[in-house]
Amino acid sequence: MGSQYPPIEPYDAGMLDVGDGNLVYWEVCGNPAGRPALVVHGGPGSGCSPGARRWFDPDRYRVVLFDQRGCGRSTPHAGDHTTDLRHNTTDHLLADMELLREHLGIDRWLLYGASWGSTLALAYAERHPSRVSGIVLAGVTMTRRSDIDWLYRGVARFFPAEWERFRDALPPADRDGDLVAGYARLLADPDPTVRQRAADQWCAWEDAVISLESNGQPGAYGGRPPRARLALVRICSHYFAHGAWLDEGVLLRDAGRLAGIPGVLIHGRHDLGGPFDVAWELARAWPGAQLVPVTDSGHTGSDTLGRHLRGALDQFAAGQDGSSGAPT
């Protein structure tokens, strides 16, 4: 996507001990005296990329990025099948974010999240509203069980052959039940061939769902290096099999807690995996949120979506506080 600032390198980085044997990688770039902002990456299990730094004006933002437990440069890595995921839940990630904020001496920060990152950013803001100065979300998700069921079953009406291959990669006993839980079991199999085949089939399905996005990023899932791909699928199936440990609909139900926090929701109308009505419902329930529909974008974005994203972040940076900096 276009409209990004030039590449930038971190001026500080480290590994934060968050307990349970986990070390979380973090980095900071931009202006040390700038407006604090946190990048909350997607997946879950994608890890941060250098490109995420480039949405922020480096002269006006102090940008913090981190790799959530088990992925990216955090350790232990879920690409190693012996890595225990019991201490990798939404509550753990929210606690990690708070620990990172305290570690860096930040009072309040703006949150930018995309896809799963929007779910995690919303959960954090509803738990710690006094610590959030603004929110920008792209590819809005709330990771309700109904959303998960749509992504791994409902959207099959658009890709019936691809979905049959996704379903039939499971043992017969798992094909009529919770497909995500079935994949989580395959990814815990002691046989590396079984694990690899499951990860490949999962990514093939995810790539099918985004395959009609002519302005997006084809092969965004299957094109990852093998270790990163395995970590992504292990963590995704682990989270989605448990409904992300969120009460059904809680983020929408508690959206009133976001009152006073300005937000911009940027969502592609051609997002088949995360339909537009998810963002629309959230915008209606969140006082002060602005919904930006993008007609040429799906889940993986477009140049138009990128321009809206940079514009929202630029306008937040121009404000003296969260409310006056909200885009109009």
**Catalytic residue selected from 270, 299, 302, 308:** 299
Calpha distance 80→49 (Å, rounded): 20
Q: Which residues 6+ apart lie within 8 Å of 269 measured at CB? A: 276, 293, 294, 295, 297
**Catalytic residue selected from 74, 115, 118, 302:** 115
The answer to whether 90 and 245 have CB atoms below 8 angstroms apart is yes
**Catalytic residue selected from 96, 147, 271, 314:** 271
109 DSSP assignment? E
271 is catalytic: yes
Residue 160 CB: number of other CB atoms within 10 A? 8
115 is catalytic: yes
Alpha helix (H) residue ranges in the chain: 50-53, 90-104, 116-127, 145-152, 160-168, 179-186, 192-209, 226-241, 250-253, 276-285, 303-318
The answer to whether 306 and 268 have CB atoms below 8 angstroms apart is no
Catalytic residues: 115, 271, 299
